[in-house]
Structure 1
Amino acid sequence: MAHLTKRQHYVPVTYLESWAGSSGRVALHDLEGNKCIHTAPENALAISWYYEEDPTSPDNRVEAILSAAEGKAATSLRKLIAASSAFSPQEVARNLNRTLTVEDETALKEFACYQYLRVPGAIEQKAFELQTTSLTEEEKRRGLNPGYFTESGFDYVLPRFRSMNSIFYVSEGTEFITSDWPCFDISDSDFAPALGEEVGVNPGVVTYCPLAPRITVLLVHREFSGGTKKAPRGSAMPMTNQLVRNQNALVIQRAVRWVVASKDEPFIFKAAGKRVQES
């Protein structure tokens, strides 16, 4: 057991490092405690033996799968971050449109798919959705085990993520924030989309995932128009500060408890106080 990972992150360290400043720490906003904690990414958003199907006999099997997936996405994430560090939003968008490969897009979709599923918030939502099903309590318990849920859910949902078009947005200044539920789907309906069922199927459902402080991705159905025209595949474009703030409000709304930024952001607690509590 000496070589097993006990503290298992449901949001990857390599991802959180993008929000770490020169001090190497992220600003972790606790929406329950109404306070901000500065901590190293490796100390954030982790639960002991989280992915183990039997915590009394851990084997790190799912942890190893996720580590491999994170490594696969890391190169593409580094490309995005490097591109965003020294140019205007327009220049970053043009550069990404030239250099982002199909392989990069695929790796980032897989990363987003895992982040859509592997977090406690997603499992809580699915538990709520299963309340009226005919599954036994034992079947629910098994199906909602984080390791089993993440692995089986990924196989089920990934083809839907792959079928969607990616639109990368580059902030003109205001930073994107992230949370303990980095990737989530939304629609213009009064009801949240059924987890894993409508994404990539319902043209009105889009998936949002901040990738770094200056770059986020929106995954849209191939028939999604956004009120104008069909979204091009793998496109990148600038986003105004006001629109970034609007996106950040969605992140705060969907967060379970923790919102991550590169520095203390008082607006996070102000916005959290207005959150709509789902029953």
Structure 2
Amino acid sequence: MPNSSSSSVLRFAPSPNGRLHLGHAYSALYTWNAAKLLGGTALLRIEDIDAERSKPDFVTAIFDDLHWLGLDWPQPVMQQSDRLDAYAEAGNVLRDENLLYPCFCSRSDIAASAEGSDPDGAPLYPGTCRHLDRGEQIERLERGDPVQFRLDTERAMDRVGMLTFSVVGPLVTDRPQIRHARPERWGDVVLQRKGTPTSYHLSVVVDDAAQAITHVTRGRDMEAATDIHALLQMLLGLPSPIYNFHKLILDDEGKKLAKSKGSETLTDLRAKGWTPDDVRRAVGL
């Protein structure tokens, strides 16, 4: 992949399940600055596969906040809720390769039997349903038991062998370095849920390929997830972008800003009279 040409394409992909805060502002501004350094283009993508939490009002607020920051992007904007068929097709490829299996375990089941945790700190799935016989799988599916479909990571790794991805940093114009991926530390991740033919991991690699993304700028908290994305790209025959991991914006307690804990939003700051320059100064740009 090129790393300094007009063919460079980057993306900022927020989820409309709340209003943007300073962490989002930094990530967006960083991505647009990186695109400028590369002489390329920054796209906006709306990651709204979570139908229960995603709201149209939040999509409108994202557009409004980003325009207020002085950012613009090509139209139309990709929204994941419009692309469920594409994700289902990718999932079918993995099913045909016998790389997905149905899992009927609840969160409490997993917490009770897990040995260790994944890089996010969640209980590591122990593979309980990986060895269910086909008859029991069919019976439980026909009965309508709650189900999600997991990637058989060990089998997938056997298919691809040694797995790597390219990283640049701290500047996107730096020379790429090769890093070895370690998907096994995530265990058998969920790729599909009943009623939703995708997950973050599956949709993001499908969309990056569809939009010809050459560089992915993401926070350091997402660095470990790149292991899974590199594996899915290889399994699905998709190109692998160059990755760049930027700093996180932390609160007064040294913790990452988050919608879930009510971090102050850009809307709040605007109501206080903040300007886009104030935001840039606050995040170190």
Q: TM-score range by the shorter chain?
A: under 0.3
Q: Which has the larger radius of gyration?
A: 2
